[in-house]
Amino acid sequence: MRRPEGDGYSSALRTVDLKITDIAFGGKGVARKNGKAVFIPFTIEGELVSAKITREKKQFAEAEVVDLRQRSPYRVDPPCSYFGKCGGCAYQHIDYAHQLEIKTRQVRDVLKRIGKLDDVPMRPIIPSPLPYAYRNRVTVHAENGVIGYFQRDSHRLIDVEHCPIAMEEVNRKLADLRSHDVPDGHYTLRARSGPRVFSQTNDGVANALRDLIVQLMPSNQELLVDAFCGAGFFAKALVGKFQRIVGIDWDRFAIAAAKENATEKETYIAGDIEAELAQVGAVHRTGPSQTGICGRLGSSAPTFDSAKTAVIVDPPAVGLSARLRKTIVDLAPATLIYVSCNPATLARDLAELHSRFKVESVTPLDMFPQTAEIEVVAQLQRSNASTN
Ligand SMILES: C[S@@+](CC[C@H](N)C(=O)[O-])C[C@H]1O[C@@H](n2cnc3c(N)ncnc32)[C@H](O)[C@@H]1O
């Protein structure tokens, strides 16, 4: 059937010659054809390729390499036989040091483009001590006897015997799972046992992330609010710097794990961040009340001096809601540390928080080598706030 003209689609599978000029979020190379952006996976900026257009829309097109005509000096042989078909990794064909440069550039660009933040003080990216064999857990899927990951751009499974970005302990568990007849479903395989709550995936980078936050946090503070605290990974490393710590997470199993070895200074609350943080703001403005967060802090709940209050936020990829951004601006803690797994939503949120806070530093971390994921820590200081 003939499509109506101007609907932005073309069924023709044309082959075109392209020069890759950039690498977009998600890991695809970017080229331009007649002013239109063309996205081509598994390419590197500077490369010349012949590529088959697989999808064409008004604003952009997608293509697959048919012939690599000029290869980048950063191109390496991917060690994994599933690379290209598996939906997990995007960068195994790129030398690790260059992956770090790409991720740094992407963070700087998105802060400028979406966050309207020019000249943010970027710290060097923190690499992963292990570019492979770093994942302490993976989730595989089983369907009709196939056990593995989703294929790239598809909901079909690819059968995976061994995953080179997973730790050997995890691969042993995969081999064990594969040796049984298992029902269809999802299986999370972990290098070690522990409570089934959120935990960072790359131990080496998680430790560097925690150390960075300890380093960025001023000493002799009154109150830390660790929003999205999980089992208290950051809060527990900061006990020595605060008189009181409040961790909030809606996962009650994570909160139970955080409470297990908590000191008297620490209070962990199972609840929604938006509601609970608004109450911290109310304490700050009007003094303790007997309800909500204040009731749970007990009669010793201080009227917080926002000049000695710090907030850490570590939200999921969607970032902070508009309401939460406003609550944080109203609360105006002297220090705000934003841990992000999505630089685009970080940039959107910083654009708004910037009205009340100055961005002191931005540090990318490579929590997920070989993939297009980027972790970022932004350190903010309330404008005109004095710190120790
Ligand atoms: C990226 S994890 C961070 C966990 C912790 N900071 C750590 O490093 O282990 C995000 C956490 O936010 C929690 N979460 C997500 N949305 C929430 C909400 N609206 N209210 C409370 N907790 C939320 C999840 O349960 C999860 O533990």
Residues forming beta bridges with residue 242, ordered by sequence position: 221
* Average pLDDT for 183-190: 96
What atom in ligand 1 is closest to the CA of residue 254?
27
Ligand 1 centroid, distance to 12 Cα (angstroms): 45
Question: Rounded distance, CA 301 to CA 293, Å?
Answer: 9
What's the CA-to-centroid distance between 250 and ligand 1, angstroms? 7
Q: Alpha-carbon distance 275 to 323, whole Å?
A: 10
Rounded alpha-carbon distances, angstroms, from residue 25 to 215, 342, 343, 370: 29, 10, 9, 13
Amino acid at 118: D
Report which secondary-structure segment, H or E, holds 244: strand 242-249
d(CA 176, CA 174): 5
3-state helix, strand, coil in the chain (%, to 5): 25, 30, 45
| Residue range 317-328: mean pLDDT, rounded | 96
CA 223 to chain centre: 26
**CB-neighbour burial class of residue 183 (10 A; exposed 0-12, middle 13-18, buried 19+):** exposed
Least confident range from 15-19, 237-241, 299-303: namely 299-303
Q: Which residues contact 87 (CB under 8 A, 6 or more apart)?
A: 149, 150, 151, 152, 153, 154, 158
Q: What residues does each domain of the chain span?
A: 15-70, 137-190, 203-382
pLDDT at res. 283 = 61
58-115 confidence digits (pLDDT tens): 999 999 999 999 999 999 999 999 999 999 999 999 999 999 999 999 999 999 999 9
Q: Evaluate the CA torsion angle 128, 133, 139, 143 in order and state its sign.
A: positive
297 pLDDT higher than 90: no
Has residue 272 got a pLDDT over 60?
yes
Q: CATH top-level class for 203-382?
A: alpha beta
Q: Which residues line ligand 1 (CB under 6 A)?
A: 198-200, 228-230, 233-234, 249-251, 254, 272-273, 314, 316
Separation CA 358–CA 342 (nearest Å): 20
For 342-361, the pLDDT digits (tens) are 999 999 999 999 999 999 99
Task: Give the strand pairing for 157-159 and 185-190.
Answer: unpaired
In this prediction, residues 109-127 reach a mean pLDDT of: 95
**Domain 15-70 coded CATH 2.40.50.140:** yes
Counting from 1 in the atom list of ligand 1, the atom nearest the Cα of 312 is 6
The mean pLDDT value for 195-208 works out to 89
| Least confident stretch, 134-143, 211-220, 273-282 | 273-282
Q: Which of 198, 233, 346 for a ligand 1 pocket mutation test, highest count of atoms within 8 Å of Cβ?
A: 198
For residues 248 and 22, give the distance between their C-alpha atoms in angstroms, rounded to a whole number: 40
> Residues 194, 199, 203, 209: is their CA dihedral positive or negative?
negative
The one-letter amino acid at 189: L
Integer angstrom CA distances of residue 385 from 4, 300, 323, 336: 59, 26, 23, 12
> Ligand 1 mean position to 81 CA, how many Å?
34
For the chain, give the mean pLDDT. 91
pLDDT given for residue 286 in this prediction: 56
pLDDT at 384 over 80: no
pTM for this predicted structure: 0.91
